[in-house]
Structure 1
Amino acid sequence: MALLPLQRFLSLRRGTSIASAAKRKGSSCQQGDNSQDGKRMRFSGPNLPMDVWHHIHSLLPMRDAARASCVSHAFRYSWRCYPNLTFSKSTMGLDEPKKYFNWSQKDEQNFVLVNRIDQIMKNHLGGIKTFEFEYYNSCLATSKLDTSKLDGWLQIAVTSGVEELEISLSLANKTEHYNFPCALLFARSGGNSIRSLHLSGCAFRPMAGLGCLTRLHLYSVHITEEELGCFLSNSFALEELDLMDCSDIIHLKIPCLLHRLSKLDVESDCEALKVIENKAPNLCTVSISSYVAHHSIGDSLRVKDLEMRCLSEFNLVHHVCAKLPASMPNLEILRIFSVGEVYSKLLDLIVRCRRH
């Protein structure tokens, strides 16, 4: 369906359509540019400038863009400049069947996924704006991710001027983790263009900050509080900070230099975190778990939107009523998720009912 507007725009000859050509050639196109030009389907479309072809092609979803590359030389070249690369089993046409699925098939899928991505990245000509890679491997699987290939893809993306970078990993061996190649970000041709960085399931050891970074999301990432503090102190454009299950951080320090930081989200899985020391002057939206709910979050006078979550504590509402009016005088929106207190009150109500 996504190809129909493009099909009408190009006014293809009757009986010839991008959709039908893409369907016949789709599987081979996703694996690279191995098709012979002589076997490609030709059409008589308007003679548009190459940058217009690139723009039209970039509006398609990635799988449709790969299929459309089988139609013409223009789209083939545009595919090699496609700006928004999202790699996962789903986007690469490797959806898992619901029945008769075993671990050898999972290993084969992972192998095919990595090799298809590797072929696409090696043929890419640059201009990448979004790079997303999602890789999940069960502990029962035998195959391992070739991290050297991932390093190579990241180098291509970063040197190409990527703006949104997302790596989500779940490796078979929980004792091992992928070491994100931070040196790429701080090299001369490094990550000066990155505006959004989302890392999950890896180790991140930054040596400086990123000047253009506005959003930082770290999920299950190995990073010390000193490393994070150094990174934040040199990422002056940061607007959003999201942490989840970062077990190496005990004392989160948010420096005063982050004048644009307006949103902070700390998930409950950061159990080691005990103190949030905030000095960012314009922080107005905060979402925190109960593990740090009873500790100061530093300069909170400007906070207008607060969300507090807990699963096991039984006095969060009392704490909110006693402490927040003085520490957050400008608070306008308050959301409390206190499962423990709800459960406790239900038990108390049941006991009382039984007594009567």
Structure 2
Amino acid sequence: MEIELFLKNNGNLGPKRYKYRKLKKITNSFKDILGKGGYGSVYRGKLKDGRLVAVKILNESKGNGEDFLNEVASSSRTSHVNIVSLLGYCFDGSKRALIYELMPNGSLEKYISNNLEEDRLEFEKLFKIAVGIARGLEYLHQGCNMQILHFDIKPNNILLDEDLNPKIADFGLAKLCPSRSSKVSMLVARGTIGYIAPEVFNRTFGQVSHKSDVYSYGMMVLEMVGKKNKNNESVVERSSEIYFPNYIYKELETNIENDGLDGILNEDECRYVKRKLAIVGLWCIQTDPRDRPSIDKVVEMLEGKVESLKVPPRPCLSSPIRVPQSFSTSESIYSH
């Protein structure tokens, strides 16, 4: 079988292999469920050494298990403060599972879509989260011994630890690129509608590459900027009338002279930070991949001065972000 052959040939993988009966012990017979989705269910567990973990039990797959292989192969090659750690996996008969470090604060989605005051983050913290995600992507694109393209960057796939530090998760759609080629071969589109780069579903927009992850990152950053404001729901909801990134661009364009971002960006605190995130996000979602910055340039832009950032040209194509449909079964390991 393909999966068993892969695991046999990669016996030196970092994550430990577990029998299914061992998972029952770790999770206290699957007593505490953390989330459930199309992929399966996630349970709280505890390893023998006391570490708390999230055990993701996958539904039985009718395919060749590509998502499972991608997750194990990609995660076993990573070690970074902004990448979630895969501690173990289970491939036992028809049972498949993935064991991650437990991220007590769940996914970023909770903090940018929930209007409850206790779940809202200060913009300074959101900015640090955006920088951390960019650094995690920089590691995947340039820091690994093999380039890893994620292809599903979105708030649900960003998990937060006890200190709200972000970690990129869910590598089910990831693609390993041994040659670090700037162009990636892809037979079918992968990703989540609203975050997926135009070239991923139509090659006339350009070549699929690491810039496709940059686009998804940019859409997520713009969502962080927009959803932070309590009064922007009416704007965001009108996605059939106006594309959300275009609305942010209009706000920047209107107020560029006095640096005062009204509308969705009009909060007295952290105006400087919001402007920087908005401009960087808009650069990341340029329609032509060649016009987008590489992720290391994104980090440089975020850490630099906002005065040095120019507002980019308005993208001629933007995807509405409030669409839950996904091309895959890839979801956060903590589903809502």
Tell me if both proteins adopt one fold, taking TM over 0.5 as the criterion.
Answer: no
TM range (shorter): under 0.3
Query: If the length of structure 1 is used for normalisation, what is the TM-score?
Result: 0.25
Structure with the higher fraction of residues in strand conformation? 1
Q: Which has the higher contact order (CA 8 A, sep 6+)?
A: 2
Give the greater-gyration-radius structure (CA): 1
